[in-house]
Structure 1
């Protein structure tokens, strides 16, 4: 799906600045925090003053989540923009009855799916809550929005490009629909993918959910909130519980249960937690027959425990924003300028060979950085296989590079973090140093021209 790419391209077009694309995910993350506050105000069954307090608490839980922060700033991914569009669509479905607002909800839901196609599963909680009587306008809006993206996906599927025989793989482009083959009930308890094999999706996501918040009462309050809604607000219980269940079960059944996949449930858990804490306070005050000031003191203790839990988190965030120290393979603007300068040197060298350059990336920085280089320069990149089971025999790899050498001048991106297989390949290669660079994430990076070994 290209929904996020369209947003990024739109940001660049609107501002005339290529770096504007990096603002899209952080800004949508800010909007998700605001939407979490509004969701508490609009959905939770509490008096008006308490709704605002609960909204602030829920927003703090989302903002204070390390996972949410990581995929908002350090490693921006499409889950958060997709979540924003779904949240707004859900609010419109829940709060309105006019056909034009429902059509807009469908448009927003369709775009959410266009960003992350698995968000389609979130139609289930909307249907359970009340979409059944509003489906026509919603469906029309969703189809109008999603049809162009569906057409684009069909075009890609119809134009698969098969590599030539000398290449290592067979298919250049595969449809996301092929991922369905990776889903299995057995993955719930014993997944066998490349990410945490054998842990099981349910066990993995239980661990992730426990880390969503540093507040000790987070999980207990969620349970209390669900119990209250089951007894007194059954439609809201169905909405929240199905929202959580469909996301967790879907991705727990996939072969690779990455933590970011369940980010769509974070606002729901935040709402349930703050509401459950309020319910727990009210229940204790009633059962213990506490006087007004004693009851308010208990509420104050709950609030203080919440603030004390998050104080180190937000202090760390403040320090991070103040110092600008990169984390989790982040790039600084200086890093980007340094990389662009190094690539310009490579491209100038390739002019002397009469062939376009192709950069083969080695080392742990190749993940994600290859795409960044292609975004901000005109050079093409490929990555050395990372996993042991993906390693081709050396003679097959050399044959592949020989084939590429007929069309391109090959260059190696090398840093000391290379794997044993990468180092072995590096040691056996004929290389000419072209340039070196130092970045905030790797102080020693070399780019070298590769020459195909000659045979007698």
Structure 2
């Protein structure tokens, strides 16, 4: 019986994992994003296109050089550079603001499938992976009987997958939080197995792989480096025990060195990118703190401040404070009312039963919460990395209460099972609004968080192809975008076509004199066939510039799921 029982539960785990894959695969892969019209995502999309095409990631841009020469100010030249790219030198070099880990994965998806839209499956796929890894970690960490252990693991996995903020970002524009979380959880899973295998060879292999996975999480999101704290917390008790024996001390050092080797191998991608940026970066702007770069906008670290904990002064919810904002986000992680209460119970029980695990989970939550609460803009997605930890603690608390009540009241097995089923039923009933929201999203196919649909992407490709054909070979096509969608559509278009796109400057401090801007566009006509995008969302400044331009009759008209009556004009020579 003892030999067959583990195999039986392996079969049960396999069935549950398949069910979770199918359920969340349908929810996350139906009606997911195929690009974005704003936010950070265009930066990842555009860089993915560069990687896929084998282009340099640090580029001396002719348009940026022309804008710098014309306006004489880096602020006024930004509108010709791709979104979320920094001008890193006065000679026109540009580089992405972000680590390139996610973009490399997106490009790899396209390469492997031969489809230029496969990149948009990376985030939904990562989201499914996060749900599965949450289940596996909960199975390994919950110290209860096998049936209740699986129930608790299901609670943790469903809590993560059906959390509103997680599910929305799983289907929204490609963002880095969920993929980075996937690699972190995978690294944590391997760290857990290191304690469970006996052969030193396997411990070394697992340590190397864990280091590789953790390093790649940092390649995707550099702030994942703070999760080194729970890793050290995990290692400290083991090291302290093993250090007492010369043989075990040697084994511990080998495991740590193997993990560090894997970490450095993975981080070589970011080191290579940072070296490329540093080779061309100059300290020429007021905000620049160094010519040495980790990413092109490493100077953004200056926005990290303890004062933001209770009174942030960024563009997102200014004055609210990161602590208040993120507590509200955590309180809405689950539609199950006692979710956080059970998490607190779980933290107490882990401290009582598995103190090392309690320290790991507590430090995991603390470093993520504190770091991003000190950030100037406390966006909800920033604390997604702590969601699995809270969900596992909540599941721990739930099964712990079930066991405690059963033992304390000396309930019969039948009554204990009945109470457990009632609590599980309450949990699943509480999830109905979240389940309904997922099904409604699939039914309507709505875009979430500035995402665009597959049909929108197809329309943009068609527009690009038509403009490229209309332009003369001597003067390649250049599209100037106006309106609300200019913040991200240019990068999506450039990733999927050869059309170069620039935008009307969005921020007041980046808008040059309109007459000078009109003159620059006229100057561009000497080199390019310049087209102009017009829709009903133009602001006052855009309308004023538009009136100064000499335009042809409409070249073409089109519409997107979020914008009707889009008109493309050609810029003509002034009489």
Give the secondary structure class of the aligned counterpart of 1:18: coil
Asked if residue 16 in structure 1 is aligned to residue 114 in structure 2, the reply is yes
The alpha-carbon deviation at position 375 of structure 1 amounts to 0.8
Determine which structure has greater relative contact order: mean sequence separation of CA pairs < 8 Å that are 6+ residues apart, divided by chain length. 2
Give the conservation status (yes or no) of the 8 Å contact 1:339–1:437.
no
Deviation of 1:449 after TM superposition, in Å, equals 2.4
Give the whole-Å Cα distance in 1 for the aligned partners of 2:260 and 2:348.
33
Displacement, 1:226?
0.9
Could you say which residue in structure 1 is the equivalent of 2:346?
Answer: 225
The verdict on how the C-alpha distance between 1:344 and 1:304 changes in structure 2, with shifts beyond 3 A counting, is same
Per the alignment, residue 51 of structure 1 pairs with: 149
Q: Is the 8 A contact 1:107 1:144 kept in 2?
A: yes
Q: In the TM superposition, what is the alpha-carbon distance from 1:360 to its structure 2 partner?
A: 2.3
- Superposed, 1:226-265 pairs within 5 Å as 226-265=347-386
What is the deviation of 1:100? 1.6
Cα shift at 1:291? 5.0
2:480 to 352, 360, 366: 360
1:3 aligns with 2:101: yes
C-alpha spacing 1:105/1:350, structure 2 compared with 1 (3 Å): same
Task: Quote the Cα distance in structure 1 between the aligned partners of 2:352 and 2:399.
Answer: 16
CA gap of 1:425–1:70, structure 2 versus 1, over 3 A, is farther
Counterpart for residue 344 of structure 1? 465
Matched length = 445
Q: 2:506 aligns with which of 366, 386, 395?
A: 386
* Structure 2 residue aligned with 1:369: 489
* Cα distance, 1:290 vs structure 2: 5.0
Equivalent residue in structure 1 for 2:529, among 392, 399, 409: 409
**Residues 82 and 340 of structure 1, relative CA distance in 2, 3 Å threshold:** same
Aligned match of 1:166:
none
The answer to whether the 8 Å contact 2:123/2:170 transfers is: yes
1:64–1:213 contact (8 Å) kept in structure 2: yes
Give the Cα–Cα distance (whole angstroms) in 2 for the partners of residues 340 and 331 of structure 1. Answer: 13
Q: Distance in 2 between matches of 1:119 and 1:8?
A: 19
Query: Contact 1:340–1:377 (CA<8 Å) still a contact in 2?
Result: yes
Task: Please tell me whether the aligned partners of residues 308 and 375 of structure 2 are also in contact (alpha carbons under 8 angstroms).
Answer: yes
Q: How does 1:124-135 map to 2 (within 5 A)?
A: 124-130=229-235, 133=252, 134-135=255-256
Question: Which whole-Å CA distance do the structure 2 matches of 1:304 and 1:387 have between them?
Answer: 51
2:269 is the counterpart of 1:153: no
For 1:431, what is the secondary structure of its paired residue? coil
What residue in structure 2 maps to residue 299 of structure 1? 420
The equivalent residue for 1:34 is 132
In the TM superposition, what is the alpha-carbon distance from 1:356 to its structure 2 partner? 2.2
Question: Structure 1's 420 and 283: CA in aligned 2 closer, same or farther, altered over 3 A?
Answer: farther
1:111 counterpart (197, 213, 216): 216
Query: 1:167 matched to which residue of 2?
Result: none
Measure the CA separation in 2 of the matches of 1:128 and 1:202: 24
Hey, what does 1:60 align to over in structure 2? 158
Whether the aligned pair in 2 keeps the contact of 1:356 and 1:409 (CA below 8 Å) is yes
Residue-by-residue CA offset, 1:329-364 (whole Å, 9 max, x unaligned) = 433332222211112222233228x42222222222
Please state if 1:186 is matched with 2:307. yes
Give 1:177 deviation, angstroms.
2.3
Deviations 1:162-211 (A, max 9, x none): 99xxxxxxx9x972422221211111111222222222112221121122
Higher mean alpha-carbon deviation, 143-152 vs 410-419, is at: 410-419
Match of residue 207 from structure 2: 102
- What's the TM-score once normalised by structure 2's chain length? 0.72
CA contact (8 A) 1:215 1:306 kept: yes
Distance change in 2, residues 1:402/1:257 (3 Å): farther
Alpha-carbon distance between aligned partners in 2 of 1:279 and 1:29, rounded to the nearest angstrom: 28
The 10-residue stretch of structure 1 (26-35 or 299-308) with the greater mean CA deviation from structure 2 = 299-308
Q: 2:544 aligns with which of 415, 424, 431?
A: 424
Does 2:312 align with 1:213?
no
Cα distance in 2 for residues equivalent to 1:331 and 1:130 = 44
Residue of structure 1 equivalent to 2:170: 72
